[in-house]
Every structure is written in C-alpha cells, then in structure tokens.
C-alpha cells in the first residue's frame, strides 16, 4: 500500500513539472517572436461562396459585415526578421470561394500568424482550422 501511494505521488509530481514546462514554452514562444509584418487584403466574395482558413500557429478572429467582400488582416510573427520573408501567405480564390493558408520554407522556423477576417454576414460556409 505504501509503494502504491509513493508511485501515485511521484506520478503527480512528474505531471505537474511537465505541464509547467509545456505552458512555459507557449509563453516563451510568444516572447521570442518579436518581429512582425502586417498583410492586408480585400477580395470580392459573394455569400454563396466558401472561405477556408488553415492556420498552424496563432488566432483566427472572425467578424461580419453587409458587403460582398472579405477583409483580411494577417500579422506574421517570427523570432528573426529575416524569417518573415520565408513565411508565405496564400490567398487562393476560385469559383467556389477563397482558401487562406501559409507555408514556411524551413521547418525549424518559429512563427505564428494572427488573422482578423471580416466576411459577408450571410456567408454560406466558413471552415476554420488552427493547430495551436
């Protein structure tokens, strides 16, 4: 019985320490991402079209308005200014709608992108994907 209690206690301590480090990494990541670049786009879009946004790191804020267009503000953040050019944003517009996503040239680049997007009020469909 004593051995089981010690094991549970050690497991609890280990999980507490690990969760502290995981939480700190998120805080430190934001602190290290001190360089930024703002991108703004205005694109025609009807309410019958679809918007799909894929984001790896960062938030996606959505608001609506009564116009047939989408307003996009995207702020890229990186640990080094030179990395900002290696993070590319794509705005692929087709007859079905708009797909917004990003790609980075090097996998090891630490970055995030915060999107603020205003869409038509009666938009048919909005798909959002955010990993972190």
3-state secondary structure of 36: strand
Q: How far apart are CA 57 and CA 77, in angstroms?
A: 10
Cα–Cα dist 38/70, whole Å: 17
Model pTM score: 0.73
Task: Compute the mean pLDDT over every residue in the chain, rounded to the nearest whole number.
Answer: 82
Which residues, other chains included, contact 51 with Cβ-Cβ below 8 Å and sequence gap of 6+? 45, 70, 97, 98, 99, 100, 117, 119, 123, 125, 126, 127
pLDDT at res. 104: 86
- Band (18; pLDDT cuts 50, 70, 90): very low
Q: What are phi and psi of 32, to 5 degrees?
A: -75, -20
Q: Is the pLDDT of residue 24 over 80?
A: no
Find, among 2, 22, 4, the residue nearest to 12 by Cα: 4
Largest distance between two CA atoms of the chain: 69
Residue 38 has pLDDT above 50, yes or no: yes
């Amino acid at each position: 019985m004593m051995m089981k209690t010690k094991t549970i206690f050690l497991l609890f301590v280990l999980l507490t320490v690990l969760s502290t480090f995981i939480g700190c990494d998120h805080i430190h990541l934001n602190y290290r991402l001190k360089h930024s670049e703002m991108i703004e786009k205005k694109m025609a879009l009807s309410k019958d079209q679809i918007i799909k946004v894929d984001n790896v790191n960062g938030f996606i804020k959505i608001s609506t308005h009564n116009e047939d267009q989408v307003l996009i503000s995207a702020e890229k953040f990186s640990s080094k200014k030179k990395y900002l050019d290696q993070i590319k944003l794509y705005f692929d517009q087709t007859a079905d709608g708009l797909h917004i996503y990003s790609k980075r040239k090097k996998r090891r680049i630490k970055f995030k992108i915060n999107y603020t997007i205003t869409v038509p009020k009666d938009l048919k469909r909005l798909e959002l994907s955010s990993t972190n």
